[in-house]
Chains A and B, each alone.
Chain A
Amino acid sequence: MSKNYYDPADLRKFGEITEWSEELGSKFFDYYGKVFEEGALSAREKSLIALAVSHVVKCPYCIDAYTKDGLQRGITKEEMMEAVHAGAAIESGATLVHGVQMMNKYKKLSM
């Protein structure tokens, strides 16, 4: 077994999760495949959303996968970086909006 928690080679083995729970694994991969098909959003737009979310959930496998996917689709590095910032802005916004809670509590407890 690898001494690291993350091994790039493990991404190729993702499909193997189905071996230990065929029904749930298959349902997940069917769902996953369907999600990224062309729909009301283009596959290209979904790829950029996936890239942003990959950063927010800090998944190195997903970042590798969707950087490559973006390159294959002709997505530019400027578009990719803007997507990452969109994710980061929401993530930091989510932290900062709790500042209101802090302010509320502070005011409530203060004379």
Chain B
Amino acid sequence: MPIKSLKARKDDLSSPENQLKFLSNGIFRKGDLPTFKEKIAETGNFPLKPKKLEILQLNLGYMCNQVCSHCHVDAGPDRKEIMTVETMKQCLEVIKNTGAHTLDLTGGAPEMNPNFRWFVEEASKAGIKDFIVRSNLTIILANKKYHDLPEFFKKHNVHVASSLPFYKREKTDKQRGSGVFDKSIKALQMLNAVGYAQEGTGLKLDLVYNPSGAFLPTDQEAMENDFKVALKEDFNIDFNNLFAITNLPISRFLEYLIASENYEDYMYALVDAYNPTAVENVMCTNTISISWDGWLYDCDFNQMLDLKVNSKVQHISEYNEDLLNDRDIIISQHCYGCTAGAGSSCQGSVA
């Protein structure tokens, strides 16, 4: 369990360039495994093109109260990258005029951005259909000033998507830190208490599951059922849907794969599980990801690898949906993570 981000540790893997180099060398350079480009070309999907834009995902900053061992953002308390009010205002202009039906706020812990509440209040006025905040749950209990977040979310009809790697303490704490499970359970109970995932309230609470190790998620529906039964029986917790997300081999999860000598086997598993149907619906085809400093990316993963959109328009200040929709999506070997099995996206399985 790391206690600091790769960046704070000045680890080689904190550089996106080094990560991309690593992902293109070894088994891919030797030709033991096809590159992602070669693989999608087999089914005529190269270059990968966007479809209709549905989701705007905003990363409000990399600061987080947790240092999870699988984090693709390399987030943590030592990360100081935070979206400014100026960039937020530029985002609000885009939100008012977008054709996207979903606004998705993520981080880090987005709630730690000092202007988070102001931004949610303003953004909720834009009348976007589905307004998601990705909450790590423990933030609600981290400090007194966050205790009323469930009420705040409710007031603005925010759809809460929360990470909970497992319905048992041991695996959750191993991945996310000691004590995280108990705090997460308490936070879920607080969300239930204000009406989240309760019949008739319309307040949505989804959970995000990702494997706590070098293996792929199984059937999302089966996992959802297991979570529902266990959380209800043990803690009287309700939630709406479970999103099963595959860990992508970047950042701290890549560090873990290399250190545990699982990297090659994991890449083989991803490539073996390649599903062409998942490619059709992969999230970069319906999402634009915006970083804390306003740059535009095909997805949150490409954001962390500093692969800006391949378009004349690369920054929120010059945002143009029509131009962006004509871009070629940037890919590398990490993309196998979104096309394995039933596929993976921030909304769970795609195939």
Contact = CB atoms under 8 A, between A and B. Distances in A.
A92 interface: no
A50 to B, nearest CB: 14
Interface string A86-110: 0000000000000000000000000
A58 interface: no
A27 interface: no
Greatest chain B CB density within 10 A among A12, A68, A74 is at: A74
Contacts of A68: 215
A74 B215 contact: no
Describe B's contact surface by its main secondary structure. Answer: loop
Given A12-B268, A12-B272, A73 B168 contact: no
Interface stretch (B66-74, B216-224, B306-314): B216-224
A71 interface: yes
A75 to B, nearest CB: 10
Interface string A1-28: 0000000000010000000000000000
A32 to B, nearest CB: 16
B215 A71 contact: yes
Greatest chain A CB density within 10 A among B215, B226, B272 is at: B215
Describe A's contact surface by its main secondary structure. Answer: helix
B213 interface: yes
B211 A44 contact: no
Nearest to B209: A74
B319 interface: no
A43 B225 CA distance: 14
Contacts of B223: 73-74
Contact of A76 (B168, B211, B218, B222): B168
B213 A73 contact: no
A72 B31 CA distance: 28
B217 A44 contact: no
A68 to B, nearest CB: 5
A34 to B, nearest CB: 17
Interface of B: 166-168, 211, 213, 215-218, 222-223, 226, 268, 272
- 6 nearest A-B pairs in the assembled complex, by CB-CB distance: A72-B218, A71-B215, A73-B218, A72-B215, A74-B226, A68-B215
Interface of A: 12, 43-44, 68, 71-74, 76
